[in-house]
Amino acid sequence: MTYALLLLSYVLGATPSSYWISRLVRGIDLRQHGSGNLGATNVFRIVGPGWAVPVMVLDVTKGFVPVSLFPALINADIGWALAFGGAAIFGHIFSFWVGFKGGKGVATSAGALLALAPWPVLGCFIVWCLLTFPTGYVALGSIGAVAALPVFIFIAPQSGVPGLFWFSVALAFFVIWAHRTNVRRLLAGSEDRFRWASNTADDHSEPA
């Protein structure tokens, strides 16, 4: 049962909501438009902001459900809760539905951590806003937010959640690795900006 739930966590995380919604609404393969990434930012730019919101909610839910519900089904400890969350995040980034090409894992990671450490997640969201809105770099906000996660976990430790700090460290490295092409473009000064007023996004940034 435990390993079946671990597999289910991956399958749930791998559910490509952005891909399916863009297929349903616009009849397109989102991987062939904009950034090519299957996340809410690309949906915002290609399909429209009205569809980016449900995609974001679904991506967050994919991380939240395995961590918050699955451990109770088998009376598992926190280690398994973290494993379920990790599997969902891995599934989002490497979805078997779409050739193992998904999003960048930020929204699903937020969902997984919301079930265990809501206040650090709120702190990360504030960091994301402070970096993204003034600069227009969604990738910068996402990288900064996930990099700040272990710091927030450390200064606001969650009682009864052993291993959460090291999980957050591993998660930060993993999500930043998923943004490696964005990091190279940011360092080179070639990363495009998200243009809020015109409801268009850059061709490369993708936080979810």
Dump pLDDT digits (tens) for 9-36: 999 999 999 999 999 989 998 888 877 7
What is the pLDDT averaged over residues 158-180?
84
What is the pLDDT averaged over residues 112-133?
93
C-alpha 42, offset from chain centre: 13
pTM reported for the whole predicted model:
0.85
Taking the CB of residue 184, how many other CB atoms lie within 10 A of it?
Answer: 11
Q: What's the confidence (pLDDT) of residue 8? A: 96
Residue 90 above 90 pLDDT?
Answer: yes
Q: What's the confidence (pLDDT) of residue 35? A: 73
**Tokens 């007023």, residue?**
197
Minimal CA–CA distance to 208: which of 133, 138, 120?
138
Taking the CB of residue 27, how many other CB atoms lie within 10 A of it?
Answer: 7
User: Can you give the C-alpha Rg of the chain in angstroms?
Assistant: 16
In this prediction, what percent of the chain has a pLDDT beyond 70?
91
What is the pLDDT averaged over residues 62-75?
93
Q: What's the confidence (pLDDT) of residue 195? A: 67
Rounded distance between C-alpha atoms, residue 189 and residue 143, angstroms: 16
Residue 206 above 60 pLDDT?
Answer: no
Q: Which residues pair with 200 in a beta bridge?
A: 195
Residue 112 above 80 pLDDT?
Answer: yes
Q: What's the confidence (pLDDT) of residue 11? A: 96
Residue 48 above 50 pLDDT?
Answer: yes
Contact 108, 13 (CB under 8 A): yes
Minimal CA–CA distance to 133: which of 56, 82, 194, 68?
194
Reported as a pLDDT band with limits 50, 70 and 90, residue 156 is: confident
Residue 158 above 80 pLDDT?
Answer: no
Reported as a pLDDT band with limits 50, 70 and 90, residue 129 is: very high
| Cα–Cα separations (whole angstroms), residue 140 to 117, 125, 176, 207 | 23, 13, 10, 9
Rounded distance between C-alpha atoms, residue 178 and residue 35, angstroms: 14
